Chains A and B, each alone.
Chain A
Amino acid sequence: MTLMNNKLLIPFLLVLFTFFSCAEEQNFDQLDDLSVVPTLATGIFYFESPEDVINSLPPGNFYNQTFTFEAFNEAFVSERVLDGSITYQLENTTSKELSLLVEFLDETDTVLDSEVFTVQPQPSPLLEREVVYGDTGKSLDILRNTTRIRVSSENLGNNSSESTANDPRIILRSSAVFRVRLQ
């Protein structure tokens, strides 16, 4: 009987070891402190016009369009966006001074914000502008309430001159980079 008891002792202790185990203190409330703030980036719009198209139209406004743009207005973005910026890049290789106007409109077509770009004839440097939204910049409500964008372009020169550049044209590029809080 004693022998049996000794032989049973080790397994018995191991069973105790198994079932009377330990657990270091855990704090699952830490989950509330999780901060997930990705930075999202995307192209917004791209405008391009060759010089011969501009020359085919009378001087002055040669293009004007208002289009729906609900990327910022989507609940996923508008409710979570923290800050961000829109970068514009304007390139003019035509022989004319040109002006581009970008307007952000709400549902009632009220202009919430606008950016004007005026560029000299070729040779002119690449124009780059970053517009910041959020704490240190313009109000985020501009973007949250934007449902339409109006793009207008104006020829401030004539419609007869021709650039010496190869394939002359005006190009406006734009992109947005925003931080959104997922958690």
Chain B
Amino acid sequence: MRKIKLFLFTVLIGTGFLSAQNKQLLYDFYEIPQSLLVNPGVKTPYKWHAGIPVLSGVAIQAGTSGITVNDLFANDGLNFTDKVREKVVNGLSQRDEFGGSGQIELLYGGFRIANRPDTYYSFGIYGEGYLSQFWPKDLAILAFEGNGNNIGRRFNLNHLTLTGEAVNVFHFGINKVVDNKLQIGFRGKFYSSVFHFRSTGNQGYFETTEGENNLLRNTVVADLQLQTSGIESFLDILDDDSISAGEEFPKNFTRRALFGGDLGLGVDLGFTYQLNNRTTLTGSLLDLGFIYYSTDVKNYTLKGTASNEGIEIILPESFNDLNSDIWENLVDDIEAQVPLETNTNSYVSLRPIKLNASIRYNFGEQKRRTEDCYCGTNTVINNTPFNYKNAVGGQLFVINRPRGPQAALTAFYQTRIGNALAVKATYTADKFTMTNIGLGLNFQAGPVNFYILGDNLLGYRNIPDSNYASLQFGFNIISWNSN
């Protein structure tokens, strides 16, 4: 039990690295080089950039829909079981989700070459992943109330949906100015999966009804599966008392992250189109790709149909069973009708495709600074590559999830304060929250760039009562393009 808890804890910690999903603050915030990772066709006002290794991009995100920590654990004197029954068991639906995601950049850089000034190349390595669990409403009711109080109710097994992974991504991108209106980008990705699991597309039900012969009949119709890859090797480490889990876990993690696990390919595509002097359209499609899971695969299936009314003794046929073990026969029949089986079949998983789009209106002239700003001798003050003072616009984000696409809409305002600071404020509505106000700050001190982006700021008034929290930050060294 201790080992299982340790493993689950490790998985949860691992998902802290995971692929952040909606990055509405970073999107089109092209003062920050990481904006290239959410739109390879974004404007690139850099000559070159280099991320501080491991610190250039850290992003974590967690969300729950339908309930908050405070709903359950507030020290309010209410009966805890009643709160769970009201707010969780009866309050949540199968569309409610618990999830966490994140990303950490290990290496990130970009450059231009002299004979192709309109093209910007970028490359890097980052680890990412996510954990998502939809609320299994019917199974929770079955566990909380049992079937005895729900005769005739059909408990759907398709409420069971779970996915998670940790993956290392190697990428190389090309960003090109096509003409004075259009800029396009492409990023190729090579995935090295550490671990992956998913239980999606489940079907079936369990119900208790009046029996055909006996008083009650239990029926299960199941078509369930859990696919895993990379999990077994970690479980083996935990089970082996002769080795140190503390040493072997990181080794196995690193080995699988560096091409020793399951591999895959993907691309990102994006563009920026200048509608007129002040208005731009942008769009990107991220993670059009797949991972082929063939190493350390273990899949579990539960498939079949069984109905049971208890032991049946029907004469005269049962006279033939006087010497047989009818209990064991009954158990064997059920196990044969709905067998729990395992296999090591390879499988392919498509990446969670993400769509970003935005329209942006720039206004206000960028004031050229002439006075002393006291911000360092290397600060860029007179040749700013940014042609706006303020910008407003809207953004759309859609991600393909196991239960279908999820969308988020964002309105934003962006402003530059001198040459040292750019600020972006967002309002986002999605399934987690309708009151998500975010703030992004980008500081430029000479060549040193620091950014910090925080989401759902209103939730920080009482963090346990927040449905959603997200934070990104990083350090870069940037040399601005002078043209």
Contacts and interface: CB of A to CB of B under 8 A. Distances in A.
B312 A46 contact: yes
B69 to A, nearest CB: 7
Contacts of A27: 73-75
Interface string B336-368: 000000000000000000000000000000000
Interface string B23-55: 000000000000000000000000000000000
Contacts of B289: none
A38 B89 CA distance: 13
Interface in B405-437: 417-418, 421, 423
Given A27-B73, A42-B310, A174 B215 contact: yes
Contacts of B462: 22-24
A155 B329 CA distance: 29
Among A8, A22, A45, A171: residue with most chain B CB under 10 A: A45
B235 to A, nearest CB: 23
B144 A41 contact: no
Contacts of A39: 145-149
Interface stretch (A61-69, A104-112, A118-126, A135-143): A61-69
A159 interface: no
Interface stretch (B105-113, B159-167, B178-186, B320-328): B320-328
A4 B417 contact: yes
B133 interface: no
B310 A38 contact: no
Interface string B134-152: 0000000011111111010
Interface of B is mostly: mixed
A144 interface: no
Given A22-B460, A22-B463, A33-B80, A44 B142 contact: no
Given A4-B418, A23-B464, A43 B80 contact: no
Given A18-B439, A28-B73, A38 B421 contact: no
Contacts of A79: none
Given A34-B80, A38-B144, A8 B421 contact: yes
B154 interface: no
Nearest to A44: B310
Contacts of B81: 33-36
Nearest to A7: B417
A138 B45 CA distance: 82
B136 to A, nearest CB: 15
Among A28, A46, A179: residue with most chain B CB under 10 A: A46
Contact of A46 (B151, B313, B421, B461): B313
Interface residues of B, number: 61
Given A21-B463, A23-B462, A26-B74, A38 B215 contact: no
Contacts of A69: 311, 327
Contact of A11 (B146, B318, B421): B421
A175 B439 contact: no
B77 to A, nearest CB: 9
Contact of B215 (A8, A22, A70, A89): A89
Nearest to A23: B463
B211 interface: yes
B118 interface: no
B418 A36 contact: no
A48 B313 contact: yes
Interface string A39-81: 1111111111110010010000001010111100000000000
Contacts of B461: 21-22
A68 B329 CA distance: 10
Given A24-B74, A44-B311, A48-B315, A175 B214 contact: yes
Contacts of A68: 325-328
B376 interface: no
B227 interface: no
B18 interface: no
Given A23-B462, A65-B313, A68-B325, A182 B143 contact: yes
A45 B439 contact: no
B465 interface: yes
B217 interface: yes
B70 to A, nearest CB: 6
Contact of B439 (A14, A36, A56, A182): A14
Interface of B: 69-70, 72-75, 79-81, 84, 142-149, 151, 208, 211, 213-218, 308-316, 318-319, 321-322, 325-328, 373-374, 417-418, 421, 423, 439, 441, 452, 454, 457, 460-465
Given A17-B460, A45-B313, A68-B328, 9 more contacts: A18-B457, A22-B462, A23-B462, A26-B73, A26-B75, A39-B148, A41-B146, A45-B310, A67-B311
Shortest 5 CB-CB contacts between residues of A and residues of B? A38-B146, A39-B148, A21-B460, A43-B310, A41-B148
11 contacts: A4-B373, A22-B462, A27-B73, A30-B73, A38-B147, A46-B312, A48-B315, A63-B315, A67-B325, A69-B311, A174-B310
